Amino acid sequence: MPLFLQPILKEKPWGGQRLGEFGYTLSHDHIGECWCVSAHPNGKSIITNEPYQGQTLDQVWAEHRELFGDFPSKDFPLLTKIVDAQESLSVHVHPDDSYAYEHEYGQYGKSECWYIIDATEGAQIVIGTELQSREQFEAHIEAQTVEEGLRYIDVKSGDFYFIPAGSVHTLTAGILAYETMQSSDITYRVYDYNRQAQYQVDRPLEIEKALDVIEYNAPLPNIVPETEIIENHKCTHIVSNDFFTLVKWEVSGTLNYMKPREFCLVTVLAGEGQVIVDGAIFKLTMGTSFILTSEDLDSVFEGDFTLMISYI
């Protein structure tokens, strides 16, 4: 039986109202993130269908590891989000696994990726810095000219970017993005547009840790998604590495889906239809997220929709 999950909506000073387009009920004017699938302590997905209805994903992970193929990791390894950047996010960086293990009580580091769902004309992202050293970056921080040393990239709908741990990065205003990442919420901010004073929010900068982990003048990861037609459906292999694999399916009609791994995370980005799992029928609408478990042997998607499917 698939595990259907209740979305977790996060208020952010840079957020907006576009997540309402996915059918989510927004409780605030500045909703920046929907955590689609998460077992992280800072946002635990609640299962909405039997037999585990009302339980959190981390609880089911701990007590029913057989649903995930007895995956060896202590913690659920992935986290997926939809992000609405009404304003620019902070300029920040995430540590890798070894740094996080040593300095953040054994947590995962965070490598992540962005699939650009929509972007206004002129929207940009930042991945990395052109600066050569810690000393150069620190000098820009002290002079409050951080933005001058960043690598800016123009983006449009359908673009994809991988952000390895250690890459300073941000989304600028006007971007709606789907994120797949390691299950981590460790963020070291280096610049936040004076939001602490403007909004009276607790968003501390972590300058020293950020300077420790930033990869200076690192090349932009060169990842080119590959597309093929399977059963008359468009399948785009977006990225595959040690941390996660992400595949986009554009389904029109019937797709007999064979899971590539013991469990897969699925989010419907657009359209609607249904999934039939071992004979049971489940309606799918835009914004629905669920996990196909190791017990879900026969899955058939029917409808017209875009699916983002991730796994280890």
**Do residues 181 and 35 make contact, with C-beta atoms less than 8 angstroms apart?**
no
Alpha carbon separation from 159 to 117, 154, 228, 238, 294 (Å, rounded) = 8, 10, 17, 10, 31
Please check whether residue 258 is in contact with residue 284, taking contact to mean a CB–CB distance below 8 angstroms: no
The binding site for Zn(2+) comprises 94, 112, 169
Where do the H-state alpha helices sit in the chain?
A: 57-63, 97-103, 134-142, 195-199, 207-213
Cα distance between residue 127 and residue 215, in whole Å: 11
Q: Quote the tokens at residue 66.
A: 């057989």
Q: Would you please indicate which residues are annotated as catalytic (active-site) residues?
A: 189
Please state, in angstroms and rounded to a whole number, the distance separating the CA atoms of residues 83 and 177. 5
Burial class for 259, CB neighbours closer than 10 Å (0-12, 13-18, 19+):
middle
Cα torsion for 222, 223, 224, 226, to the nearest 10°?
Answer: 160
Locate 21 and state its tokens.
């387009």
Cα atoms in the 13 Å half-sphere on the side-chain side of 155:
28
CB 259 within 8 A of CB 296: yes
- Whether cis (ω within 30° of 0) applies to the bond prior to 221 is no
**What is the C-alpha to C-alpha distance for residues 299 and 312, in angstroms, rounded to an integer?**
19
Query: SS3 breakdown of the chain: % helix, strand, coil, rounded to 5?
Result: 15, 45, 40
Assign 198 to helix, strand or coil: helix
